[in-house]
Amino acid sequence: MAPVHDELQRTLNPTCTGASVIAMQYKTGVVVMTDRVVSYGKMARYKNVSRQYKVNDNVLVTFGGDHADFQWLQNVIERQVLLWKRFDQDIGPKALHGYLTSLLYARRCKMNPLWNTLVVAGVEEEEKNNKETSTPFIGIITQKGCAYQVKHVATGLGAFLLNQAVEDEFRKKGDELTRQEAEAVLKKALELTLYHDCVADNDFEIGRVDANEGVVLGKEQTIIGDWSIAETNCQYE
Amino acid sequence: MVSTEVKNVAAHMDMDRGGAFDFSNCIRNQAMCKMGAKAPKLTSTGTTIVAVSYKGGLVMGADSRATAGNIIADKHCEKVHKLTESIYACGAGTAADLDQVTKMLSGNLRLLELNTGRKARVITALRQAKQHLFNYQGYIGAYLLIGGVDPTGPHLYMCSANGTTMAFPFTAQGSGSYAAITILERDFKVDMTKEEAEKLVQRALEAGMHGDNASGNSLNLVIIEPKETVFKGPIVPEFCKRPEPNDLVYKFKTGATKVLKNKTFKYDIIESMDISH
Amino acid sequence: MSNFTGITATMNPLAEMAQFKQNMREVAASPEWRTSKLIERQRWNPYSMEGGSTAAISGDNFAIVASDTRMTQNDINILTRDAEKIHVLNDSIILSTSGFYGDVIQLRKVLQSRLHKYRFDYRADMSADLCAELLSRNLYYRRFFPYYTGAMLAGIDENGKGAVFSYDPIGCIERLGYSASGAAEPMIIPFLDCQIGHVTVAEDYEKPPLTIERAISLMKDAFRGAAEREISTGDKIHLVIAEAGKPIVQKFLPLRED
């Protein structure tokens, strides 16, 4: 039986957290958007922090949830990448997704979870060379080790707010979506979380994994949004 | 001796202060919970309700699914309640509470209209609702969107179960409100036409019904304008239709039910009775 | 509104009443709302439920498994409309699952690796009967931290007959003619009881034989019906058909999406 104070050493409530991750696949790759703030409760504690981690040229991992846990995970991922390097191989998105699923599930079984929702985005190396069969990969892993693959996703509060809107946009074009179109959808999506998620920020970055270009980390961008509605809101009663 | 008596009286006062409310069952319930009993759970209906104001009017709408746990209890449930000719309320939360609160409101507002000889104002409906709900500290699980048109223009209010109220140009409530509000934020414009507002409400409701398990089946709209109120529905979106019919026909021929026992009653009809006087 | 539940009649009503009165006195002396009780920290729950349903029917020389493909968060929010709940393990074994998806993935991994090892050791695929027993033991291995899954194993057994094995989360195994698990289980089971088990009709009533065509149609109709009334079932039917001597066929059919 574990001692009573044991739970104090576990992440049973997260401290510094990242909010939503929004990702979408387009014709030849995946675009992933995160905002650049790490919150302490409802306080915007650290600004200008990237929540995207470039694993290698084919894989990009982004996270929502506890920041400390993710920094630890970055270390674990790096070691895994080096392990593969020893056998002269580059880890692909599917393999990393599987590995992280097992890791998060194992930690949940120890009742010591990693408080993260991970989005693994990428393109498989062998599919990169064959443009016809190239299918971009987006894999989600929740804190409890529940993993699934999708074509578009929003995590955190975005799962409630944005999933349907993003799905409808995706369904209009399907797999024929271009990168510009996908990025436009994501930008609009961030603007919409901004209005309702109090820990979302208007500084954001869009990373992408493309079959031709590999992983390209995004630059910091800012969105203001439309606040003209405030004029009409007199709040009487 | 005296001090214990005072203590007892104090405890009692705490439990049933005045004559209006009797909280003595709270003690009994806690004692029962100590014996291992589980308190009953109230079921609340998952819902998407949406309302949008436009130039000179208001569009309100709701889906029509009522759930009890994970079972759809009613596919064609009416969530748009009429309060007066030009004031409507959409409800999310506990179904019974909503029915009673809206019934009370419509009765009170009609009385007011008859007494004063004028149309009731939306703010009156809101005040009545919030004062009633506040008294019950949130235990009446009614989350309302109250909206309508009165001589001072179109108004839309949200009223929470604990009595919080707010005014909005557009809003959504219920479990599907997250998906719906996103659509509203994206596409709302000030001073839309009636058609634009109607389409927007429909789109927002469809997003809520699509992305939320507890909303769906069909949607109802009410378009309130100073001159007339138009009710539309039920409208069934494409994704709410059955894509394929059943393969087989499930009809039992006679003889499917096993007869366990036969009993024959014989009646003698003596004469037909005349009950007209 | 339902009443208080959980009270069972005991052998000694007098003692129980005395206990109840004692509790009344205790609660009245210090009602919960007047004590400055520490807010208990909610214990972290290692389980979550992703909803959805699966069902399986076995016949003379076939087994049919079906599930919906919706994955849900918090019973309400749809995560994906293309989740995989039926896993084809080899040419004659199909695993179908509902419940906590993290456990589902783990269970599938364990079974796949054990099947792989078996193939390595014996140079033959494991039979459905053997795998059924293996699954039961794997489930019971986690008796005190269970895999929270309503698992079913279907396939063609060693004698070329269709087989469906149904499990509870901790490994109770039962070979049945048909079974269902998941959110719509209480709706699908009575339907199959009526149409395949014929438990509701008189003995001399004409009962149609269970052909593979009829079983497929019944399965489709069961999910169409469930999608009408169960909120976490919908989007698509994933239909997997195993027939003796034929490769396994997989199909996807549309369901309502609301």
Domain borders along chain A are 16-232
On chain B, the residues whose CB falls within 8 A of the CB of C20 are: 31-32, 35
Alpha-carbon gap, residue B10 to A227, rounded angstroms: 54
Domains of chain C, first to last: 53-254 (3.60.20.10)
Q: By the 8 A CB rule, do C242 and C94 touch?
A: yes
Closest among B208, B46, B40 to C231, alpha carbons compared: B46
Query: How much is the pLDDT for A127?
Result: 73
Length of chain B counted residue by residue: 277
- At residue A135, the pLDDT reads 82
Domains parsed from chain B with CATH numbers = 49-240 (3.60.20.10)
Residues of B recognised as catalytic: 47
- Which of the two residues, A127 and C209, has the higher pLDDT score? C209
Q: What is each CA distance from A213 to A96, A120, A123, in whole angstroms?
A: 20, 17, 11
CB contact set of C113 (below 8 Å; sequence gap of 6+) = none
Cβ density class C55-81: b for 16+ within 10 Å, e for less = bbbbbebbbbbbbbbbbbbebbbbbbb
CB atoms closer than 10 angstroms to residue C14 = 8
pLDDT, position C9: 65
Cα gap C258→C245, rounded to integer Å? 39
**Which pLDDT score is estimated for A132?**
63
Mean pLDDT (chain B) is 87
Q: What is the mean pLDDT of chain A?
A: 89
The pLDDT score that the predictor gives to residue C76 is 87
For chain A, the residues whose C-beta falls within 8 A of a C-beta of chain B are 157, 160-165, 167-168, 188, 192, 195-196, 228-229, 232-237
- Residues of chain C in Cβ contact (below 8 Å) with chain A: 41, 44, 46-48, 50, 71, 73, 77-80, 82-83, 100-102, 105-106, 109, 145
Could you write out the three-class secondary structure of chain C? CCCCECCCCCCCHHHHHHHHHHHHHHHHHCCHHHCCCCCCCCCCCCCCCCCCEEEEEECCCEEEEEEECCEEECCCEEEECCCCCEEEEECCEEEECCECHHHHHHHHHHHHHHHHHHHHHHCCCCCHHHHHHHHHHHHHHCCCCCCCECCEEEEECCCCCEEEEEECCCCCEEEECEEEEECCHHHHHHHHHHHHHCCCCCCCCCCCCCCHHHHHHHHHHHHHHHHHHECCCCCEEEEEEEECCCCCEEEEEECCCC
Span C161-187, average pLDDT = 95
pLDDT beyond 50 at A75: yes
- Kindly state whether A76 is in contact with chain C, defined as any CB-CB distance less than 8 angstroms: no
C-alpha distances in Å from residue C132, one per residue of C54, C122, C127: 17, 18, 9
pLDDT band, very low/low/confident/very high, at C17 (cuts 50, 70, 90): confident
Mean per-residue pLDDT, A189-217: 93
Mean pLDDT computed over C183-187: 94
Give yes or no for residue C75 having a pLDDT over 60: yes
pLDDT digits (tens, 9 = 90+) for B188-230: 998 999 999 999 999 999 999 999 999 999 999 999 999 999 9
Which position has the higher pLDDT, C128 or A228? Answer: C128
* Helix B95-116 vs helix B122-135: crossing angle, to nearest 10: 130
H/E element holding A194?
helix A179-196
Residue A8: per-residue pLDDT? 46
Specify the pLDDT at position C210.
Answer: 95
Per CATH, the number for A16-232 is 3.60.20.10
Q: Each residue's pLDDT tens digit in chain B (277 positions)?
A: 444 554 454 444 454 455 566 667 878 888 888 888 777 665 556 899 999 999 989 999 999 998 888 899 889 988 999 999 999 999 999 888 999 999 999 999 999 999 999 999 999 999 999 999 999 988 899 999 999 999 999 999 999 999 999 999 999 999 999 999 999 999 999 899 999 999 999 999 999 999 999 999 999 999 999 999 999 989 999 999 999 999 999 998 888 888 889 999 988 877 776 767 6
Residues of B with CB under 8 A from a CB of A: 123, 126-127, 157, 165-169, 178-179, 181-183, 185-186, 188, 190, 207-208, 210-211
Q: Does C3 touch chain B (CB under 8 A)?
A: yes
Rounded Cα–Cα distance for residues A62 and A43 (Å): 21
Residue-wise pLDDT tens digits, C39-61:
445 578 899 999 889 999 999 99
Burial label, C225 (beta-carbon count in 10 A; 0-12, 13-18, 19+): middle
Structure-block tokens of residue B236: 């069934």
pLDDT > 70: percent of chain A: 90
Chain C residues in contact with B178 by the CB 8 A cut-off are 77
Residues written for chain C: 258
Predicted complex ipTM: 0.88
Question: B254 is written with which tokens?
Answer: 């006679």
In this prediction, residue C10 carries a pLDDT of 67
Q: Is the pLDDT of residue C24 over 70?
A: yes
User: Residues near C159 by Cβ (< 8 Å), separated by ≥ 6?
Assistant: none
Inform me whether the pLDDT recorded for A5 exceeds 50.
no
